[in-house]
């Protein structure tokens, strides 16, 4: 064998072995992390989340819908929401920008036709940030309260692509009498024409909102807000505003919705995740379309990673370090809260481990090809690494079984079977999003500026009745 070929053999086989070892150890640690949460879910899934005995809250609800460049979708969403909540005491605030002329023209016929609609035009040219847009609506709410001599009872958060449930506000009234924030399940629409990229959101939300948020809620841990299908009492919003100089939402955050839920928990206020059945049947959930193209999914998920895993670390710290608001936590609860935050922030590390695993598999395949063509030796796998690979295979089978289980509960057996190959799509998107998130965060640090990293969603269509969203899950 020529020296050059021997050198290439050494490089390929050695690199493949090291990547395999790194990825295997990382997959083991993340797998055990997930297995611990699974054990908690299995031990608490029989615990009933009882409805509070406190009386429902009275008063008008404010619904905040931030919008930038939404001329095509916003009018339909407003009409759907007003029709679904026609008998509710609510006012819907729409946050727009003076330079978004198309959106302003699209909704102007609606603003004058329904007194429940309130247009809020931002004082700055758009796009600023979603947090800034929400703060403008909060200021408008305060102006309305002073002008009318009244106070709103709660604030509900939704996005333009959402399909609200008719029983949503009634549920909030019932639970906000006891809790400062209530989150209902977010159910991505499973479009048969978009089931590979768009469908992986359904798999992930089915597991996250069928297991992780349920566990956090039952353990009374701080609950991240999804930014949609979420309601907060006015007093809780006022507390956030007081501690932030008048604005409840951070203007320099890409995930202002996530942060408000974590802050409310840090202040010692209770939050609750509620998966309930409406009196008319069917689950009370927030449904909506998610990106159906890889590039759009990468943009959205990179914003989540940059906002939660990178900037969120800077903004929120860890339990016991956030201005010592939560320093009174017991050692056990502080450790549990840190673990939950670690799970929120592990995405960049998970992406690196996934990249190592795929790269290692590719290099190992090259080694096999080299063995066929040039007689290279096989990669040496010791007994320890062999055992580690076997255990990781068992963890992978368990992980895929859990993912399929939750997907089946929301979408049926057919989608559960597709969830297995769809996990590869999810992994690719996660790796690309982590890379973009790091670049996005570096740009934020260098420039000191944060702008609305808008995600393009597929056009909303009427959502048919879904027989697989007919029962509450826990």
- Give all domains of the chain, ordered by start, each with its CATH number: 1-474 (3.90.550.10)
Burial of 33 (0-12, 13-18, 19+ CB in 10 A): middle
- Is pTM beyond 0.75? Reply is yes
- Picking from 313, 331, 333, the residue whose alpha carbon sits closest to that of residue 265 is 333
Residue-level pLDDT at 323: 42
Residue-level pLDDT at 438: 95
CB-CB neighbours of 135 under 10 Å: 24
Residue-level pLDDT at 455: 76
Residue-level pLDDT at 1: 46
Q: What are the average pLDDT values for consecutive 10-residue runs of the chain, which has 474 residues?
A: 60 79 95 96 80 90 97 96 96 97 96 94 94 97 97 98 96 96 96 90 97 94 94 96 92 92 89 92 93 94 95 81 53 86 96 94 79 68 84 96 96 95 96 96 89 73 52 43
Residue-level pLDDT at 462: 61
């Amino acid at each position: 064998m020529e020296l050059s070929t021997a050198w290439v053999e050494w490089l390929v086989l050695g690199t493949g072995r090291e990547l395999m070892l790194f990825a295997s150890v990382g997959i083991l640690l993340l797998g055990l992390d997930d297995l611990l949460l699974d054990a908690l879910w299995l031990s608490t899934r029989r615990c009933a989340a009882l409805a509070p005995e406190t009386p429902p809250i009275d008063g008008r609800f404010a619904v905040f819908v931030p919008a930038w460049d939404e001329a095509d979708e916003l009018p339909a969403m407003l009409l759907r929401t007003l029709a679904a909540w026609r008998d509710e005491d609510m006012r819907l605030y729409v946050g727009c920008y003076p330079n978004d002329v198309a959106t302003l023209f699209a909704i102007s016929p609606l603003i004058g036709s329904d007194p429940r609609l309130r247009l809020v035009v931002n004082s700055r040219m758009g796009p600023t940030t979603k947090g800034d847009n929400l703060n403008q609506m909060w200021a408008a709410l305060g102006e309305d309260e002073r002008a009318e001599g009244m106070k709103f009872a709660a604030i509900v958060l939704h996005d333009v692509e959402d399909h609200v449930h008719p029983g949503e506000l009634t549920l909030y009234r019932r639970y906000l009498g006891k809790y400062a924030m209530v989150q209902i399940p977010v159910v991505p629409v499973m479009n048969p024409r978009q089931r590979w990229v768009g469908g992986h959101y359904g798999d992930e939300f089915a597991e996250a909102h069928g297991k992780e948020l349920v566990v956090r809620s039952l353990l009374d841990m701080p609950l991240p807000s999804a930014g949609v299908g979420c309601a907060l009492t006015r007093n809780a919003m006022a507390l956030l505003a007081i501690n932030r100089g008048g604005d409840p939402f951070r203007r320099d955050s890409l995930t202002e919705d996530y942060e408000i839920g974590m802050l409310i928990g840090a202040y010692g206020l209770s939050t609750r995740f509620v998966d309930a059945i409406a009196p008319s049947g069917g689950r009370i959930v927030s449904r909506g379309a998610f990106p159906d193209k890889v590039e759009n999914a990468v943009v959205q998920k990179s914003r989540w990673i940059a906002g939660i895993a990178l900037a969120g670390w800077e903004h929120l710290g860890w339990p016991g370090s956030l201005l010592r608001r939560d320093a009174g936590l017991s050692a056990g609860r502080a450790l549990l809260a840190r673990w939950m935050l670690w799970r929120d922030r592990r995405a960049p590390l998970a992406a690196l481990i996934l990249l190592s695993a795929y790269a290692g598999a590719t290099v190992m395949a090259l080694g096999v090809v080299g063995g066929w063509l040039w007689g290279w030796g096989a990669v040496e796998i010791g007994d320890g690494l062999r055992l580690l690979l076997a255990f990781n295979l068992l963890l992978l089978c368990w992980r895929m079984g859990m993912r399929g289980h939750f997907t089946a509960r929301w979408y049926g057996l057919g989608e559960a079977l597709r969830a297995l190959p769809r996990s590869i799509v999810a992994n690719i998107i996660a790796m690309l999003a982590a890379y973009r998130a790091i670049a996005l965060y570096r740009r934020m640090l260098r420039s000191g500026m944060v702008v609305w990293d808008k995600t393009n969603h597929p056009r909303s269509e009427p959502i048919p009745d879904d027989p697989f969203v007919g029962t509450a899950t826990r």
